[in-house]
Amino acid sequence: MQKTKFPAVVATFLVCYAFWVLLTWSFKAQELAVGAGVSFLVALFAARFFIHEDAGWLFNPARFLKCIGYWLVIFPGELIKANLNMAKICFGGCTNINPGIVKVPTAMKSDYGLAAVSNSITLTPGTITMETAEDENGQNYLYVHWIDVKETDPEKAGEAIKGTMEKALKEVWQ
């Protein structure tokens, strides 16, 4: 079991406290104090599970801005594109679709990066990430159920499924 380090506790506390404030949206002194206490207790127990690598990665302003940019610009663009494609399939009677599972290579190395790209793919309509796997050479792969397989070549299928999401997430998580 990994030993909890002070920077990991501080980073976990800040994330928990930010969520507390966002969820309660109360700025009364007593509620802020209770939130700080609860967040600190959660951070003491959860930091070793929550922070596996550099505890201060998100506090780097460049990474933080790239992360916000991804969730406000790039992901919504990919989401709209996927929704329009699904609408075209649905309004077309769902007759000429070719569902299947494709093995897609990914350049992500960190656990957080793999989770982010996998969840982004799953959140876009028409695709679900079923599994992540690593081969003996260290190459990571995603097994994705795709409602309308247009490419069987793993590289081309990956480009069609991941779009610009992986490139943008790689700048944040690696």
Indicate if the pLDDT at residue 16 is higher than 90. no
For 157, other C-beta atoms within 10 Å of its C-beta total 20
Question: In the predicted model, what is the mean pLDDT of residues 4-19?
Answer: 82
pLDDT of residue 40: 93
Q: What percent of the chain has pLDDT over 90?
A: 36
pLDDT of residue 82: 92
- Average confidence score pLDDT of the chain: 86
Pseudo-torsion of CA 53, 54, 56, 61, nearest 10°?
-100
pLDDT of residue 143: 95
Question: In the predicted model, what is the mean pLDDT of residues 119-142?
Answer: 92
Express each pLDDT in 62-74 by its tens digit. Answer: 887 888 889 899 9
- Tell me if 104 sits within 8 A of 154, measured CB to CB: yes
Express each pLDDT in 79-104 by its tens digit. Answer: 999 999 999 888 888 778 889 999 99
Q: Is residue 47 helix, strand or coil?
A: helix
Put residue 15 in one of left, alpha, beta given phi > 0 → left and psi -120 to 50 → alpha.
Answer: alpha
Indicate if the pLDDT at residue 130 is higher than 80. yes
